[in-house]
Chain A
Amino acid sequence: MAYIRSNQQSFNSPHAAKMSEGQCQRLYWACLEILERTGVCLYNQEAIDLLDKAGASVTDGNRVRIPAGMVEKAFSTVPKNVALYNRNGQRKIQAGGHRSYFGTGSDCLNIIDHRTGERRLAVLQDIVDGMKVCDALDNIDFVMCMFLPSDVPQDILDRYEMEAMLNHTIKPIFYVTTEFAGCKAAVEMAEIVAGGADALRHYPFAACYINVTTGLRHNEEALQKLLFLSEKGLPFTYIPSAQGGVTAPITIAGTMAVNNAGVLAGLVISQLKREGTPFIMPGWGGNMLDMKTTVQPYADPEKRSQAIDFSHFLGLPTFSLGGCSESKMVDQQAAAEAALTLFTDALFGGNLVHDVGYLESGMSGSLPQLVICDEVISWIEAFMHEVVITDETLALDLIDEVGPDGQYLDNPHTMKHFRDRWYPNLFERSNYDSWQKKGGKDLGTRATDVVEKIVNEHEPERLPDDIAKAVHEVVLKEL
Chain B
Amino acid sequence: MIETEKIIEAILIGDDDKVKVLTLEEINKGERAGEIMREGLIAGMTKVGEQMEAEEMFIPEVLMSARAMSAGVEVLKPHLKTEDAAVRGKVVIGTVEGDLHDIGKNLVKMLIEGAGFEVIDLGTNVEKDRFIKAVQENNADILGMSALLTTTMPSMQVIIEALKKAGIRDQVKIIVGGAPVTEEYAQEIGADAYGPDAGSAVRVINSIL
Chain A positions within 8 Å of B, measured between CB atoms, are 109, 148, 150, 154-155, 157, 178-179, 213, 219, 243, 245-247, 289, 291-294, 296, 363
Contacts and interface: CB of A to CB of B under 8 A. Distances in A.
Contacts of A246: 103, 106
Given A219-B100, A247-B103, A291 B59 contact: yes
Contacts of B199: 294
Interface stretch (B2-10, B70-78, B134-142, B148-156): B148-156
Contact of A243 (B59, B103, B150, B197): B103
B36 to A, nearest CB: 30
A296 B197 CA distance: 13
A376 to B, nearest CB: 27
B98 interface: yes
A224 to B, nearest CB: 13
Contacts of B57: 292
Contacts of B190: none
B126 to A, nearest CB: 15
A157 B150 contact: yes
Contacts of A219: 100
B28 to A, nearest CB: 37
Contacts of B100: 213, 219
A148 B150 contact: yes
Nearest to B54: A292
24 contacts: A109-B150, A148-B150, A150-B150, A154-B150, A154-B151, A154-B154, A155-B151, A157-B150, A178-B151, A179-B98, A213-B100, A243-B103, A245-B60, A246-B103, A246-B106, A289-B59, A291-B59, A291-B60, A292-B58, A292-B59, A294-B197, A294-B198, A363-B179, A363-B180
Nearest to A148: B150
Interface residues of B, number: 20
B contact patch SS = loop
Contacts, number: 42
Interface in B121-163: 149-151, 154
A363 B179 CA distance: 8
A109 B180 contact: yes
B107 interface: yes
B198 to A, nearest CB: 6
B157 to A, nearest CB: 12
Nearest to B55: A292
Given A246-B103, A246-B106, A247-B103, A293 B150 contact: no
B98 A178 contact: yes
A293 B55 contact: yes
User: Can you list the 8 inter-chain pairs with the closest CB atoms, starting with the nearest?
Assistant: A291-B58, A291-B59, A292-B55, A154-B151, A178-B151, A109-B180, A246-B103, A213-B100
B104 interface: yes
Contacts of B180: 109, 363
A296 B199 CA distance: 16
Given A243-B103, A292-B58, A294-B198, 20 more contacts: A109-B179, A148-B150, A154-B150, A157-B151, A178-B98, A178-B149, A178-B151, A213-B100, A219-B100, A246-B103, A246-B106, A289-B103, A291-B58, A291-B60, A292-B59, A293-B197, A294-B59, A294-B104, A294-B107, A363-B180
A142 to B, nearest CB: 24
A371 to B, nearest CB: 26
Contacts of A293: 55, 197
B63 to A, nearest CB: 10
A245 B100 CA distance: 18
Contacts of B103: 243, 246-247, 289, 296
Contacts of B106: 246
- Among B151, B179, B197, the most chain A Cβ lie within 10 Å of the Cβ of B151
A385 B123 CA distance: 51
B108 to A, nearest CB: 9
A292 B180 CA distance: 20
Contacts of A157: 150-151
Contacts of A178: 98, 149, 151
A264 to B, nearest CB: 21
Residue of B57, B58, B103, B198 with most partner-chain A CB within 10 A: B103
Contacts of B197: 293-294
Contacts of A179: 98
A148 B152 CA distance: 13
Nearest to A247: B103
